[in-house]
A and B are shown apart, each in its own frame.
Chain A
Amino acid sequence: MLEIFDVYLAEAIISGILLGGVLALLALGLNLIFGVIDVTWICYAELIMLGMYALYYFYSVYGLPMWVAAPACIALVAVLGLLLHYIVIEPLLDAAPINQLLATGGVLFFLQSFATVAFGIDFRNLGIRLPVLALGEMHFSYARLLAFGAALAGMVIVYLFMTRTYIGTAIRAISQDRQIMALMGVDTKRLYLVTSAIGGALAGLAACLLVLQYDVHPFVGLSFGPITFLICVLGGLGNFIGGFVAAFLFAQIISLGGLYSDLEWGYVLAFAFFIVMMFIRPAGLLARRP
């Protein structure tokens, strides 16, 4: 009895780690946007939802091969991120932060209902069933392993971009001091657009990975959107490493909570953990106490 139990426990822990990789990727895009532009895209998960639909249409309906469909999906969501910034965020850059939050909330409504109107409320999936890896008595689907690997790769690429390229350095600089960068002759508008596009591309990558595991429907964003925000806040908005750590913590809680009870209780636990942590470390997990 005890041994079986332990196998489940190990499986839950490893599932948690795999989930954590994807959550970390989700959080990275949002953190990037927040850290650089200082806005929160409440509609981030809805961009991912559109990306999932895009991949579904490219791959399953138009029959493009995956190596064309996935990059096309990433590019499309990157363009959406760019448009979101250009149309909604830019006119509001000087407005109260809460107005920016609410405006992207409007975009959330819009995208959700756009998907309802355009694609209907049926659940769709790619129809790919990747094989399951059996490791002893534990079972992991390749889709999750792939998602984990791709998420890590995406994060490494972003890291290299931010530290090794000129634009990346400029983006990091602007997140440290907005006003001075403009005085130094840096075109902040262009940097914001580049950042939005990268944020969008990360959402696109996340979409490609999520649609391998989950069905897509217009409200799918609500199932992982809130979690993503919580992870970002828990890690400290704009703090990449904090977001990374928080993603894995959250994933473990959800996974282990789901093991002992229903998956919903895993989420409840994670949410409760979040609220408690907000009191203990209001500025994020890795923030120093003032």
Chain B
Amino acid sequence: MNPRHLAYWIAAAVLVGLPVVYNQPYHLHVMVLILIWSFAYTSWSVMGRFGLVSLGHGGFMGVGAYVTALLWNHFGLTPWVGIPVALVCAGLLALIVAYPCFRFRITGHYFALVTLALSGIVLQVITATRNQTGGSLGYTPERTKGNAIAALQFVDKETWYLIALGVWALGIAIWYWIDRSMIRYAMEAISEDEDAAAAAGINVTLEKLKITVLSAVMTALAGALYCQYQMFISPDTVSGISVSLQMVFAAVVGGIYVAFGPTVGAVITILLAEGLRIGFGTKAVGWDNLVYGVLLVVFIIFLPKGILGSLLARMKPSGKH
């Protein structure tokens, strides 16, 4: 076992053991939020790193959250079934939108704008079906009176922390898995030149579809988890264009080409938002986004690889970048 692996195992042990020694509820809450959003941002960067910039991930997250909650409230279906159903829905939605996009080679700007339309649709559908979804006022899954595990509703933060940690680790694992798989080489070739990639025998549409559906399903899982944890969802917090942009922003700031980049992005953005909220209270409304906006522009112009990406690149100057 080399030192690098040892460091990973120690880090993992510290993260898992943390709630046992330290369980201040507010700090745990912030950490759970960071983990869930990190997972969402990682999901976005799974496809974003290959130049497939989607502005529709707010839509997938909304599908994950709302389908789970609606099945629970209206049909009493446990989230253990509801979440897989929601994931399938998000995957199907991704398939329906992405297949024609890739088939007809809608790329770059066009792809970003088509997916923007998708998140617009999901937002409008949630708002329009206000009798079922509560519309823009938000929606609350009913508290269970029975088994907490069957309803996936836990009061204590420690359980949620461990669940979120596990899912986040899964996200990182998927990221690494793709990093080492053939999909990565295929996708990198495609993002350089689709015609050349196709000529080299890569099934361009299929490879892009795989990565898109995977990314969408992961994002929907993040949405479902967020819903189960917060027990309150509204179109503004889990769906729509601002959520999509927020994902892109955090991932870009952290760095979309490295595994922990989106996580760093989530840590920075959430700590910034929470810090401003505690420091300035309601006076701070809007300031966090003000800072985000400026940071996003500055990062894209001066540091397109993100904070972590640039740091790592500096640490090993002999690397390929």
Contacts and interface: CB of A to CB of B under 8 A. Distances in A.
Contacts, number: 143
A97 interface: yes
Output the residue of B108, B112, B245, B297 with the most chain A CB within 10 A: B297
A229 B116 contact: yes
Nearest to A105: B245
Contacts of A268: 121, 124-125, 128
B290 to A, nearest CB: 4
A92 B53 contact: no
Given A107-B293, A262-B128, A102 B118 contact: no
B290 A117 contact: yes
Contacts of A114: 286, 290
B290 A271 contact: no
A97 B300 contact: no
Interface in A98-112: 98-99, 101-103, 105-112
A160 interface: no
A95 B103 CA distance: 26
Given A109-B290, A113-B286, A264-B127, 8 more contacts: A92-B300, A101-B53, A106-B294, A110-B289, A110-B297, A113-B289, A237-B109, A262-B128
A134 interface: no
A229 B112 CA distance: 10
Contacts of B106: 278, 282
A216 to B, nearest CB: 16
Contact of B113 (A95, A113, A218, A233): A233
Contact of A282 (B110, B121, B252, B297): B110
Q: Which 5 A-B pairs have the closest CB atoms?
A: A110-B293, A106-B296, A116-B286, A109-B293, A264-B128
A198 B300 CA distance: 25
B109 A98 contact: yes
A272 interface: yes
Contacts of B109: 40, 97-98, 101, 237
Contacts of B297: 88, 103, 106-107, 110
B210 interface: no
B114 A105 contact: no
B88 to A, nearest CB: 20
A186 interface: no
Q: Interface extent on B, as a size class? A: 35 or more
Contact of A237 (B110, B125, B245, B249): B110
Given A106-B300, A271-B117, A278-B100, A222 B290 contact: no
B303 to A, nearest CB: 11
A272 B121 CA distance: 7
B9 interface: no
A40 to B, nearest CB: 6
B241 to A, nearest CB: 6
Given A108-B293, A271-B117, A282 B105 contact: yes
Interface string B252-290: 100000000000000000000000000000000111111
B51 interface: yes
Nearest to B246: A109
B120 A109 contact: no
B304 interface: yes
Interface residues of A, number: 45
Contact of B292 (A109, A116, A222): A109
Given A98-B51, A102-B53, A268-B128, A92 B301 contact: yes
Contact of A106 (B105, B112, B241, B249): B249
Contacts of B290: 109-110, 113-114, 117
A117 B286 contact: yes
Interface in B108-149: 108-110, 112-114, 116-118, 120-121, 124-125, 127-128
A267 interface: yes
Given A226-B116, A229-B116, A237-B110, A110 B294 contact: yes
Contacts of A117: 285-287, 290
A102 B51 CA distance: 12
B23 interface: no
B60 to A, nearest CB: 15
A274 interface: yes
Contacts of A112: 286, 289, 293
A230 interface: yes
Contact of B104 (A101, A265, A282): A282
A226 to B, nearest CB: 5
Contacts of A96: 51
A237 B300 CA distance: 23
B112 A101 contact: yes
B304 A95 contact: yes
Contacts of A113: 286-290, 292-293
A233 B114 CA distance: 8
A265 B129 CA distance: 9
6 contacts: A97-B109, A102-B53, A106-B249, A109-B296, A226-B120, A279-B100
B104 A279 contact: yes
